[in-house]
Amino acid sequence: MSNLAVAKIGIVTVSDRASRGEYEDQGGPAIQGYLSEILTSEWKPVTRIIPDELSTITETLKELCDQKQCCLVVTTGGTGPAKRDITPEATLAVAEKEMPGFGELMRKVSLEKVATAILSRQTAVIRGGTLIVNLPGQPKAIQECLDAVFPAIPYCIDLLEGPFLKTNEERLVAFRPKKK
């Protein structure tokens, strides 16, 4: 992946009911809207709406990382303790490296908003040149979580030798250490 390439970003809604059309997916559009507001460099979304099935989630993540060459994949849903919530396990199953700080920070800021944030097992991992980040299913959790961790994402993608992501600094300042 060249750092001059247009950034492809995977947006994966994991929801039995949204994937069956029983309710309209609000999570994927909320992530896309957030990224459009934050990013000033060129990027392209690659969206998927899938059920809470381990093999479907792992295959989708592999496709977005290995074939589509997304530099970032953001998932929403399936991070809780319910029987069918399996997104973190699927994410770890395709991981080469775990990035536990993302889940820790998202739970910390979320706990300041809702006591039930403790129920999310959301995590983040690296697969090849891709960072995968899990978000909870509640659409309002998307901004709460991404505001906390997004400042670290452009530099993480630099370290993976991916595209250079620029942010709208009035909205969010990306952390990049000063070059010596």
Ligand X SMILES: Nc1ncnc2c1ncn2[C@@H]1O[C@H](COP(=O)(O)OP(=O)(O)OP(=O)(O)O)[C@@H](O)[C@H]1O
What contacts 24+ positions apart, CB below 8 Å, involve 106-114?
Answer: 106/135, 106/145, 106/148, 106/149, 108/148, 109/144, 109/145, 109/147, 109/148, 110/136, 110/141, 110/144, 110/145, 113/144
**CB-nearer residue toward ligand X: 77 or 162:** 77
For residue 68 the two structure tokens come to 């589509």
Q: In this structure, which amino acid lies at residue 139?
A: P
DSSP assignment, residue 6? P
For residue 149 the two structure tokens come to 């961790």
Q: CA–CA distance from 81 to each of 28, 49, 142 (Å)?
A: 21, 21, 19
Site for ligand X in 62-121 (CB under 6 A): 77-78, 80, 82
Our finding on whether 51 is near ligand MTE (CB under 6 A) is no
Write the DSSP string, 111-152.
Answer: HTT-GGGGG----EEEETTEEEEEE-SSHHHHHHHHHHHGGG
Min dist. Cβ of residue 88 to ligand X (A):
12
Our finding on whether 144 is near ligand X (CB under 6 A) is no
Q: Which of 13, 79, 91, 130 binds ligand MTE (CB under 6 A)?
A: 79
Our finding on whether 171 is near ligand MTE (CB under 6 A) is no
Site for ligand MTE in 111-150 (CB under 6 A): 113-114, 116-117, 119-120, 136-138, 140-141, 144-145
Our finding on whether 17 is near ligand MTE (CB under 6 A) is no
Our finding on whether 162 is near ligand X (CB under 6 A) is no
Min dist. Cβ of residue 77 to ligand MTE (A):
5
Min dist. Cβ of residue 23 to ligand X (A):
6
Q: Which of 90, 89, 106, 99 is nearest to 150 (CA)?
A: 106
* Contact residues for ligand X, defined by CB under 6 A: 13, 15-18, 23, 25-27, 52, 77-78, 80, 82, 137-139
* Contact residues for ligand MTE, defined by CB under 6 A: 77-80, 85, 110, 113-114, 116-117, 119-120, 136-138, 140-141, 144-145
